[in-house]
Amino acid sequence: MIDITFPDGSSRQFAAGVTPLEIAASISPRLAQETFAATVDGQSWDIQKPIETDATIKLHKWDEPEAKHAFWHSSSHLLAAALEQLYPGIKFGIGPAIDNGFYYDVDSPTPITEGDLPKIEQKMLEIAREKHPFVRREVSKAEAMETYTKKGDEYKCELIGDLTDGTITFYSNGDYTDLCRGPHLADTAPIKAVKLTSVAGAYWRGDEKRKMLTRIYGITFPKKALLDEYLALVEEAKKRDHRKLGKELELFTFSPRVGQGLPLWLPKGAALRERLENFLKGVQKQYGYEQVITPHIGMKDLYVTSGHYAKYGKDSFQPIHTPDENEEFLLKPMNCPHHCEIYRSKPRSYKDLPVRLAEFGTVYRYEMSGELHGLTRVRGFTQDDAHLFCRPDQLKDEFKKVIDIVLYIFKTLDFKEFTAQVSLRDPNNKEKYIGTDENWHKAEAAIMEAAAEKGLETIVETGEAAFYGPKLDFMVKDALGRKWQLGTIQVDYNLPERFDLTYKGSDDKEHRPIMIHRAPFGSMERFVAVLLEHTGGKFPLWLTPEQAVVLPISEKYNDYAKKVAKLLNNCDIRTRVDDRDEKIGRKIRDNELAKVPILLIVGDNEQRDETVTVRMQGEGKDRGTMTLPDFAKMVGDLVAEEIRPIAEPMS
């Protein structure tokens, strides 16, 4: 008998060779039906794979990422099985599970188009109903190579060539067999709803010099209702696509003459971005930050010293040459080397620390054209960057202050759901990292304690730290339930060493400061994109490009409308006049579609009484008539409600 320990600490005895699925069934038949994956002793485990020794176990149901990964990985095999039946001679590349579903890269003798997807879906469901078990089998490298050589599948042969003998497994479901490490479902029966979402091209192994394969994306669910819910969210996401809204709201554009991945901010977008920047600058000022400005380029040697050239140089924008053959410049890939040079521009004392340098600095990184996507993946972007240089005894408090800033931003912009990921060093692979054990222990303890003291909901990922130090990443959930990484705080012992940064301590000796990198927004481009999709373009009143629009009911009230707009703009209420020769109903509809929060209707009564009739976005009815001072006070109160003062700013 073996002891199996559950997440709550309880344990039970089972016969050696018991499977996770059998353990689930011993608890309840329903749990067995709902279990799609298992973790045994911290390792992903097939639910039908025997457990031979004492172990800890966690059973995963649909709502957990481990279950969805196994479900969608199994679904990619189901897709491959259907394709093999429908397209004899087809060859297979890779077919992983992804965040939302799965894909398979294939080389088909017959072109596969979007129009073919419904018949492939039907074949998948047909095979799924046959309840084929997923059978795992260990094979030698020679057998694996022979299998796919006979089949004529050069892609699988290439993958096998990279594997170590003794680590290779096949999985079979029905007549289909695939090279795979697992884990998988027990059988195909739970796959009840299938949607193949798109067909795209993908170079084999991401190499533009290799053959272009056909990539088929899909998603599956254990219930049709879940698929229907997902498709409704997809449709809503299309409406909220920041590229679509950015165009409709005239926020930004792209030009092929300027270059791919280089956004052009239009007047409304630039104004919105400026307000975001000023908002963060105001917060930072209360926390003792100093603004700096650095150039968009730097000498190549600067980035060689920092290590960024080794990381970005080969696949980034190439060096800029000047008439002086001894000069080589690079477009700035990061702001931190410049800030290090600012720090070392004068001697520092322990009394000077912490030094907090902030900049909205534009950086440039070459992204492959196929990776570019609106504002979320661009080649030129502005980071809300700051670098803090502190003593070891200041690290924890400085980290907590940065957390305060991030939480204040999330609250102000209505990101209610988020988690914080603490990324630590892999203690069994220390050669990947720089710095002493003592420094790492202090930094990791400071992050963990700071997160706990701030009451953050955290997940800990061992081995995910940057090579120079541990970090804290914030994952927010938007209005559609999608997760985005916004905001990061990183501890760095590397750059102070590379740039020989020092301060004179109270002992009159030179010491090395610790550096904290932080960017609450991440980048202005990505943050605006996420905010657009989160709000559907209905920005908070303080941030929206246009707060109010005055709608004269006919041409003879245009002059009064302009007078109202001028007075309100003088009160810092962003207002324009819609004086088009259109009926008032059309003006109301158009401006509501343009997401303007407040519509001010003016006619004979309003002109006579020097008032406005107020209509709020989405309410469908008027709020009544107000004098201009009363309306200005109402807007001021609404904005004050959205931007509450920081509870305890610390400098």
How large is the average pLDDT for residues 256-269?
96
Detail the DSSP E strand segments found in 553-642.
575-577, 598-602, 611-616, 622-627
pLDDT given for residue 633 in this prediction: 95
User: Which one of 60, 242, 339, 365 is the catalytic residue?
Assistant: 365
How large is the average pLDDT for residues 5-26?
93
CATH architecture of the domain with range 253-294+335-535:
2-Layer Sandwich (3.30)
How large is the average pLDDT for residues 136-140?
93
How large is the average pLDDT for residues 604-622?
90
User: Which one of 68, 242, 348, 517 is the catalytic residue?
Assistant: 517
Q: What angle do CA 568, 571, 573 make, to 5 degrees?
A: 60
Give the contacts of 354 (CB within 8 A, at least 6 positions apart): 288, 388, 389, 390, 391, 394, 398
Question: How would you class 220 by CB atoms within 10 Å of its CB: exposed for 0-12, middle for 13-18, buried for 19 or more?
Answer: buried
Rounded Cα–Cα distance for residues 471 and 562 (Å)? 52
The verdict on whether 73 is a catalytic residue reads: no
Give the contacts of 612 (CB within 8 A, at least 6 positions apart): 550, 564, 600, 601, 602, 606, 625, 626, 628, 631
pLDDT at 408 over 90: yes
The verdict on whether 373 is a catalytic residue reads: no
pLDDT given for residue 341 in this prediction: 97
Rounded Cα–Cα distance for residues 409 and 524 (Å)? 13
SS (H, E, C) 186-232: CECCCCCEEEEEEEEEEEHHHCCCCCEEEEEEEEEECCHHHHHHHHH
Rounded Cα–Cα distance for residues 261 and 362 (Å)? 13
pLDDT at 169 over 70: yes
pLDDT at 647 over 70: no
Rounded Cα–Cα distance for residues 219 and 121 (Å)? 10
pLDDT at 417 over 60: yes
Rounded Cα–Cα distance for residues 581 and 586 (Å)? 10
pLDDT given for residue 416 in this prediction: 84
Integer Rg of the chain from CA? 29
Q: Which two tokens stand for residue 218?
A: 């899909």
**Least confident window among 34-48, 141-155, 250-264, 411-425:** 411-425
Q: How confident is the model at residue 440 (pLDDT cuts 50, 70, 90)?
A: confident
Rounded Cα–Cα distance for residues 635 and 623 (Å)? 13
Unique residue bearing structure tokens 């977008």: 269
User: Per CATH, which fold does 548-642 belong to?
Assistant: Rossmann fold (3.40.50)
Give residue-wise pLDDT tens across range 324-370: 988 999 999 999 999 999 999 999 999 999 999 999 999 999 888 87
Rounded Cα–Cα distance for residues 336 and 360 (Å)? 12
Rounded Cα–Cα distance for residues 330 and 511 (Å)? 31
User: Which one of 48, 284, 383, 547 is the catalytic residue?
Assistant: 383
66, 75, 370 from 46: Cα distances, Å: 11, 15, 35
The verdict on whether 41 is a catalytic residue reads: no
As a whole number, the mean pLDDT across the chain is: 92
Between 558-570 and 628-642, two packed helices, what is the crossing angle to 10 degrees? Answer: 40
User: Which one of 68, 116, 336, 490 is the catalytic residue?
Assistant: 336
Contact 489, 517 (CB under 8 A): yes
Length of the chain equals: 651
Start-end ranges of CATH 3.30.930.10 in the chain? 253-294+335-535
The verdict on whether 383 is a catalytic residue reads: yes
How large is the average pLDDT for residues 3-23?
93
Alpha helices in 28-64 (DSSP H): 29-34
pLDDT given for residue 482 in this prediction: 79
The verdict on whether 387 is a catalytic residue reads: yes
The verdict on whether 534 is a catalytic residue reads: no
How large is the average pLDDT for residues 545-555?
95
pLDDT at 313 over 80: no
The verdict on whether 239 is a catalytic residue reads: no
Nearest to 339 by CA among 287, 407, 399, 386: 386
CATH architecture of the domain with range 66-231:
2-Layer Sandwich (3.30)
Query: Is the CA virtual torsion 15, 18, 20, 22 positive or negative?
Result: negative
Q: Does domain 2-61 have CATH number 3.10.20.30?
A: yes
Start-end ranges of CATH 3.10.20.30 in the chain? 2-61
Start-end ranges of CATH 3.40.50.800 in the chain? 548-642
Rounded Cα–Cα distance for residues 424 and 432 (Å)? 12
428, 429, 460, 469, 471 from 463: Cα distances, Å: 9, 8, 10, 11, 11
Give residue-wise pLDDT tens across range 374-405: 999 999 999 999 999 999 999 989 999 999 99
Contact 454, 406 (CB under 8 A): no
User: Which one of 91, 387, 425, 574 is the catalytic residue?
Assistant: 387
Nearest to 515 by CA among 382, 286, 339, 309: 339
Give the contacts of 30 (CB within 8 A, at least 6 positions apart): none
Rounded Cα–Cα distance for residues 578 and 565 (Å)? 10
Contact 235, 252 (CB under 8 A): no
pLDDT at 651 over 50: no
Q: How confident is the model at residue 196 (pLDDT cuts 50, 70, 90)?
A: very high
pLDDT given for residue 121 in this prediction: 97
Rounded Cα–Cα distance for residues 440 and 493 (Å)? 9
pTM: 0.80
Strands 328-331 and 320-321: antiparallel
Q: How confident is the model at residue 195 (pLDDT cuts 50, 70, 90)?
A: very high
Compute the half-sphere exposure of residue 231: CA atoms within 13 Å on the CB side of its CA. 15
pLDDT given for residue 648 in this prediction: 56
Start-end ranges of CATH 3.30.980.10 in the chain? 66-231
Q: How confident is the model at residue 461 (pLDDT cuts 50, 70, 90)?
A: confident
Share of the chain above pLDDT 70, in %: 99
Q: How confident is the model at residue 650 (pLDDT cuts 50, 70, 90)?
A: very low
Rounded Cα–Cα distance for residues 47 and 54 (Å)? 16
Rounded Cα–Cα distance for residues 528 and 378 (Å)? 13
Give residue-wise pLDDT tens across range 64-122: 999 999 999 999 999 999 999 999 999 999 999 998 899 999 999 999 999 999 999 99
SS (H, E, C) 249-295: CCCEECCCCCCCCCCEECHHHHHHHHHHHHHHHHHHHHCCCEECCCC
